[in-house]
Amino acid sequence: MSIEPIGFIVLLLGLLSMVNGARFAITTLCLSTLLGAAAALQLPALGGSSIQPSHLLVLFLVVAALLRPAQTQATLASMAYPGPGFWFAAYILFSVASSFFLPRIFAGATLVYSSARDTTGMMSTVAAPLSPGSSNLSQSVYLLGDLACFAVVSGLARLGYARFIALQLIVASIACFTLALIDIGTFLTDQSYLLDVIRNANYTMHTAETISGFKRIVGPFPEASTYGAVALAYFSFTLLLWLERVQSRMAGLATLFIGPTIVLCTSTTAYIAGIFVVCMFVLFCLKRLISGPAKTPHVTFLVITLFLIPCVIVALSLVPDAWNSIAGLMSTTLSDKLQSQSGEERTAWNTLALIAFVDTATFGAGLGTVRASSFIAALLSNVGLTGTLLFAAFLYSLARASGRHMSGDRETHAIGNAAVMASIAQVASAAISGSGTDLGLLFSTTAGLAAGCLATNTSPRRATRSLANRTPLETSTSLMRAPMFSTR
């Protein structure tokens, strides 16, 4: 194991998180999720795997929570049945168990594109017989880190930190936009090497690619599709906060900044998932307009999406040069994508992944065994039908909580709904191009925030004061007995 220069900074921030508590830890974690191309640690023994700063900081976040009894109890309570945390824990624990047993039970039963890295640190592009590998262990560690992040964030949201966590996600979205501008600026001035300090992970970097004259925005990530998926998640979160008038100025500014970069990043994943997300927002605003209570932002969004954007498209079609550039971009990223070498390769991954699902009698080949190009194909081929159903139960539980009217704080409920929308956006992006079953720490953060906000029907400030005046045993008893949802 070797520590990168950025790793020492991460370790220092981690120690400060333990001392300064939840607020500092959440701030550093949210910002560190942006460093998707960075490595704090390198692990040559695991095929050259890179440990990102965010995954290292999760350890300190957990320790910081364990040092404080109220936070520990709230973290444990976040996984109580029948809440979303219970199903998320069940899905991850089943996945981890599958990583040990299934690759050995079905060894040699089918051909797969493995998620494991070879001695040079690269993933294999040749199908090979199913067998255990280093990725079984590394993916298990990543998923356990996701579970820990989800539980702690959910627990903190229960204790009244929801507004603070939402604010940090807004700040992170603005930081994401800033790094996208730096990426474009360093590319145009031929100084991309300035970002090498945060592009030191053992990944293939697609940082200098262009399509139809447009620079593919990657920001602090290794490729445009990853940037597009993250930017779309932030866009979904900040947009719903703006619609619900929660932190409306900062949320509106962040939405205005991050939105155009999704269009300019030239990512097929971002375009398709973005259309799905915008349709969800249109339906949400129409529902508010019909059944109420609709606000000015809801009407504004409907006017922009249903009237102004079509008018702009018609206007651009009257300008041949502009229209030809846009049409060329759309053709390259959408209609011609499946015929490209990348598209054919990804289709082959998904085809072999689904064959592995059938060859293993729907049990799956085990977490981290099969590489795919769709989260759905990855779920089926790695953790089988059981793991897929457990994840579906988790999503259903999260969406069901969002759909119920809460009798408590309106702002907390709005933050929870925004976090649900951001989580769905990430699942939509992963369903198009996700190579594995790990949705990442940003997903765990937004899903945990949603579960924590939607699990309580009391004012967060009142809940915080109440918990602060109780012993750890009383806190644990009250949290475990509290209903996960309430209806009116």
Encode pLDDT of 318-329 as tens digits: 877 777 777 777
Question: Is there a domain that residue 487 lies in?
Answer: no
Please state the rounded mean pLDDT for residues 63-82.
92
DSSP 186-234: HHHTT-GGGGGGG--SSS----S-EETTEE---TTSSSHHHHHHHHHHH
* 3-state class (DSSP) for residue 401: helix
Question: Is there a domain that residue 186 lies in?
Answer: yes
Query: Is the backbone peptide bond immediately before 293 cis, with ω within 30 degrees of 0?
Result: yes
What per-residue confidence (pLDDT) applies to 470?
43
51: which strand partners?
41
Helix or strand run (H / E) with residue 473? helix 472-481
pLDDT of 488 higher than 60 = no
Q: Which domain holds residue 50?
A: 2-481
Question: Is there a domain that residue 89 lies in?
Answer: yes
CB distance 176 to 230 below 8 Å: yes
Give the whole-number percent of the chain exceeding pLDDT 70: 87
Question: Is there a domain that residue 424 lies in?
Answer: yes
Q: Give the count of domains, the chain.
A: 1
pLDDT of 356 higher than 50 = yes
Reference 373, options 87, 118, 38, 123; nearest CA is: 123
Q: How far apart are CA 292 and CA 300, in angstroms?
A: 15
Question: Is there a domain that residue 486 lies in?
Answer: no
Higher-confidence position of 100 and 402:
100
Q: Is the pTM of this model over 0.85?
A: yes
Q: Any residues with CB less than 8 A from the CB of 344 and at least 6 apart, and which?
A: 338
Highest mean pLDDT among 21-30, 214-223, 328-337: 21-30
Instruction: Kindly indicate the confidence band of residue 463, based on its pLDDT and cuts at 50, 70 and 90.
Output: very low
Question: Is there a domain that residue 256 lies in?
Answer: yes
What per-residue confidence (pLDDT) applies to 478?
44
Question: Is there a domain that residue 488 lies in?
Answer: no
Question: Is there a domain that residue 169 lies in?
Answer: yes
DSSP 432-463: HH--SS---HHHHHHHHHHHHHHT--S-HHHH
Q: Which two tokens stand for residue 134?
A: 């280093």
pLDDT digit string (tens) for 190-235?
888 888 888 888 877 888 888 777 788 998 999 889 999 999 999 9
Instruction: Kindly indicate the confidence band of residue 140, based on its pLDDT and cuts at 50, 70 and 90.
Output: very high
